[in-house]
Structures are given as structure tokens and as C-alpha cells.
């Protein structure tokens, strides 16, 4: 599908973003490994999370309400999954593949997991290598680096792993494998990545210890089904935050947004950019902090985005690049080479597409530099590279362009934000 975006000013309204993608994935995985019922509300019905749920159905987990925001997962316990009859196809979802590899590695059956063209090119050795150290048997192209991957589940042994990347997918994969081994499994990270797995495992009854950049989980816990209310996804809210900030005469209230500190790096950066926003009704749900965010048009200032904040806003960098085009001064984005192995190479994609929109931007190996403010020209056709966050970032840029823009291949938006276009229309 192609998307035509017309420039618009004065965005106004109260809107609710869809459920958090990371928490939705984990609710299915951990709910399936727990004993008894897990009732989830606010589940993200994007394709990525539905693919996780279908994969667990394929392994014998009964899930009621699949396709809606309210679901009941009938957990089967740590050893209750069944050998899937067909290939587990998780589409575009790196989180599904990496976290599930940790689970599949310790199950006493054979499975094959695959994904779409983009996912089949993304590096999996970052999880299959440490899993092999735990005793996992995994085969795939490029020495177990590329999907499709075949797993013959094994008895796993615990591990202390020093991860070379600050990646919640790597950390979570190893912790989920560690649930199935005796003793404590420990992950040390170079920087803190999102901690939803730790929080949820603890909420379900696992013994989890966190000390600085170290996380440890004790194997073979008796996980018990729970109620989970999924907050709205700050990574989805980011598009509307920036849309309101860079659009004249705008004011939006984004309801119920998850503000876990390991995810809310965008707010730290927006503070430095002097963005006008406030948090309303701050509260805690299932160990996760939440608030409504009221945001208004602002005269943004440039800043440097790098170092330890990067893992806390890794998915928001494409939309922050759009914000940078409107900020006064030189915005430097650095230490973000991980963007090159996301759904597409997000550094190259944003630099190429922003240039098409008339923006001067300097590409760096680990980021980019944008001198602002610059006006966004329209009248061009951009492409999404099949990446939902590139498509949505360009759509927000289109709202302040001088003329209409067309973005090709935007079906991918459905992976994380099925009602994005409806909400844009609504405001």
C-alpha cells in the first residue's frame, strides 16, 4: 500500500496509543511458561505480537481472544510446550525470534523458526552463540547466524554471559533459556537495555536479582499465571509526540503511556531539546510506571544523542531525526550503530529519505548529523524499506512538508501500530 500524506497544521486531541510491543510479546511467552491462566488486557494486535501468539498456539498453548486486546493465555508450565507440527513463522519480528530461541533451546523437541526476508537477514549469532554455550543445538545458514533456524531442544546448563551489545533481545533470550537450567543464569550488559523481561519474570514469581548492569535469574522457577495490563507503547507515542512538537498550534494528550525508565530515553532528549510537554496522572501498573503525556508545539533546540541513553530510545531514533530537522542548531546522533541491523539499516534509510525531502544530513557509521532548522520539501515519493518505524517517521515529516509526499510500501506499519493512519486522520 502507498500512503499519501498531506501537510497539516494544528494537531489536536486526546488519543490512546496501542499496547506496548515488548510487553505484549513477553505476556504471551511468560504467560505460556507459567502454570494457569494469564489474563492480558491492552495487548498489541500488531502483526509482530500476533505472530508470537500464533507460534505458541502452534506449540499447544490455548489462547482465547487472539486478535483482540483482551486475551486469556492458558499457561502450560516450563515443560509443557508441545513439538510444533509446522514451521514457526514469526514474520518481521526480531523480538519473537530471538526470545523464542531461548525458550525452544531448552524444550525437549524439534522445531524450525523462520521469518520474512528482512528477518532472515538479521544477525542471530548474537543469541545462538551464547545459547550454544549453554548446550543448545541450533543449526542455520551462516553457521547458525541466519534464519531459518532449526533447534533440537537440550538439557541446558546455566551461564554467566558478558554481552557485547546492550540488547534486551539478547539479555531476554538468555534469561528465558536460564529458566530451564539449574542454578542462576547471569547476564552482564555494557549498558542497561529495557528490563521488561526481568520485571515480568519477577511478577510471575521467578527469583530475579538486578545489580547495576547485571541481571540474574534462578532456574526452574514455579511461574504462576497473572493479570497483565499492557500500557501504551512509548515507541508508538513517539511519533505523535514529535508530530505535535514540530507542528504549529498543536496540543495532544497521549493517554496511558508506559514510562519504564529503560524505555523513556526520548523524554530525556526532549527535555534537552526544550520540548513543551508534561506528565499527568503518573501511576504504577504491574510494576511498570505509566502516565498521560500532554505535548504542545515547541521551538526545539538541537542536542547530542549518544552514550548510555541510546538503548533507552533505540527505536525512537528515526523519529528523533525528524525532530532534529526542526531544532535550532546541530543535532548529533552517535553510538547508534545497532540501527544498521534493525528491520532495515535505519541510518542509511533515514539519511536517504530525508535527503529526498530536501534535508541536508551527514551520514556517520554510528549515526548522523543534522543542522536545523530546515524546511521539509514535498512533492516526492519516499520509501519505507518495509520498516514500520521508517514509514511512520516519514509520515510525520510529511505533515510539515511544503507539498504532499507519497510513501510506498507502508503495509509494514501494521507490524507495530495497526491504527496509526486512523489516529493521524483523527487529530
Binding residues for 3-phosphoshikimate: 21-22, 26, 167, 169, 315, 342
Should residue 297 be labelled a site residue for ligand S3P when binding is judged by CB under 6 A? Answer: no
Q: Which three cell numbers stand for residue 123?
A: 544477525
Judged by CB under 6 A, which of 38, 58, 158, 172 binds ligand S3P? 172
The Cα 142–Cα 226 span in angstroms is: 40
Which one of the listed residues 116, 292, 315, 387 is annotated catalytic? 315
Count of chain residues binding ligand S3P (CB under 6 A): 11
Quick check: is 315 catalytic? Answer: yes
Least distance from ligand S3P to the Cβ atom of residue 298, Å: 26
Q: Which of 359, 6, 354, 267 is nearest to 346 (CA)?
A: 354
* Cβ 15 vs Cβ 253: under 8 Å: yes
Q: Given the rule CB under 6 A, which of 148-156, 167-175, 202-210, 316-324 is the region that contacts ligand S3P?
A: 167-175
Judged by CB under 6 A, which of 32, 45, 154, 169 binds ligand S3P? 169
* Per-residue mark of binding to ligand S3P, 78-117 (x: CB under 6 A): -----------------x----------------------
Q: Which is nearer to ligand S3P, 58 or 236 (CB)?
A: 236
Judged by CB under 6 A, which of 11, 17, 22, 31 binds ligand S3P? 22
Least distance from ligand S3P to the Cβ atom of residue 314, Å: 5
Should residue 314 be labelled a site residue for ligand S3P when binding is judged by CB under 6 A? Answer: yes
Least distance from ligand S3P to the Cβ atom of residue 215, Å: 13
Residue nearest to ligand S3P (CB): 22
67: left (phi over 0), alpha (psi -120 to 50) or beta: left
The Cα 352–Cα 138 span in angstroms is: 37
- Which residues sit at the interface with ligand S3P, rule CB under 6 A? 22, 95, 167-169, 172, 193-194, 314-315, 338
Q: Return the active site residues.
A: 315
Amino acid at each position: 500500500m502507498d500512503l499519501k500524506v498531506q501537510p497539516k497544521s494544528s494537531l489536536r486531541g486526546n488519543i490512546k496509543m496501542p499496547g506496548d510491543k515488548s510487553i505484549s510479546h513477553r505476556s504471551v511467552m511468560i504467560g505460556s511458561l507459567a502454570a494457569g491462566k494469564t489474563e492480558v488486557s491492552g495487548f498489541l494486535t500488531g502483526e509482530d505480537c500476533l505472530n508470537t501468539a500464533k507460534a505458541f498456539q502452534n506449540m499447544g498453548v490455548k489462547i482465547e481472544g487472539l486478535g483482540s486486546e483482551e486475551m486469556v493465555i492458558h499457561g502450560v508450565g516450563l515443560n509443557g510446550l508441545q513439538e510444533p507440527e509446522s514451521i514457526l513463522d514469526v514474520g518481521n519480528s526480531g523480538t519473537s525470534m530471538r526470545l523464542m530461541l531461548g525458550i525452544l533451546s531448552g524444550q525437549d523437541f524439534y522445531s524450525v523458526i523462520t521469518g520474512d526476508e528482512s528477518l532472515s537477514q538479521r544477525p542471530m549469532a548474537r543469541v545462538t552463540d551464547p545459547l550454544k554455550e549453554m548446550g543448545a543445538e541450533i543449526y542455520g545458514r551462516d553457521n547458525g547466524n541466519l534464519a531459518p533456524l532449526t533447534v533440537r531442544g537440550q538439557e541446558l546448563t546455566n551461564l554467566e554471559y558478558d554481552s557485547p551489545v546492550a540488547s534486551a533481545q539478547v539479555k531476554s533470550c538468555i534469561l528465558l533459556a536460564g529458566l530451564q537450567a539449574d542454578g542462576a543464569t547471569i547476564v552482564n550488559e555494557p549498558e542497561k537495555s529495557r528490563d521488561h523481561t526481568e520485571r515480568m519474570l519477577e511478577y510471575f514469581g521467578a527469583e530475579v536479582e538486578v545489580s547495576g548492569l547485571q541481571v540474574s535469574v534462578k532456574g526452574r522457577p514455579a511461574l504462576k499465571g497473572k493479570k497483565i495490563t499492557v500500557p501504551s507503547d512509548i515507541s508508538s507515542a513517539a511519533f505523535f509526540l514529535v508530530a505535535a512538537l514540530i507542528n504549529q498550534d498543536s496540543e495532544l494528550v497521549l493517554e496511558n503511556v508506559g514510562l519504564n525508565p529503560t524505555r523513556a530515553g526520548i523524554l530525556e532528549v526532549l527535555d534537552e531539546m526544550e520540548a513543551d510537554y508534561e506528565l499527568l496522572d503518573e501511576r504504577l501498573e504491574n510494576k511498570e510506571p505509566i502516565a498521560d503525556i500532554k505535548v504542545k508545539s515547541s521551538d526545539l533546540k538541537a542536542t547530542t544523542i549518544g552514550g548510555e541513553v541510546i538503548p533507552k530510545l533505540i527505536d525512537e531514533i528515526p523519529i528523533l531525526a525528524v525532530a532534529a530537522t526542526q531544532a535550532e542548531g546541530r543535532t548529533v546522533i552517535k553510538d547508534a550503530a545497532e540501527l544498521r541491523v534493525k528491520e532495515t539499516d535505519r541510518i542509511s534509510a533515514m539519511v536517504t529519505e530525508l535527503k529526498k525531502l530536501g534535508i541536508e544530513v551527514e551520514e556517520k557509521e554510528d549515526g548522523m548529523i543534522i543542522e536545523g532548522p530546515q524546511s521539509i520539501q514535498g512533492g516526492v515519493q519516499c520509501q519505507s524499506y518495509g520498516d514500520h518505524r521508517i514509514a511512520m517517521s516519514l509520515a510525520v515529516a510529511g505533515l510539515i512538508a511544503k507539498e504532499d509526499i507519497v510513501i510506498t510500501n507502508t503495509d509494514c506499519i501494521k507490524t507495530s501500530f495497526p491504527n496509526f493512519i486512523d489516529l493521524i486522520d483523527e487529530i
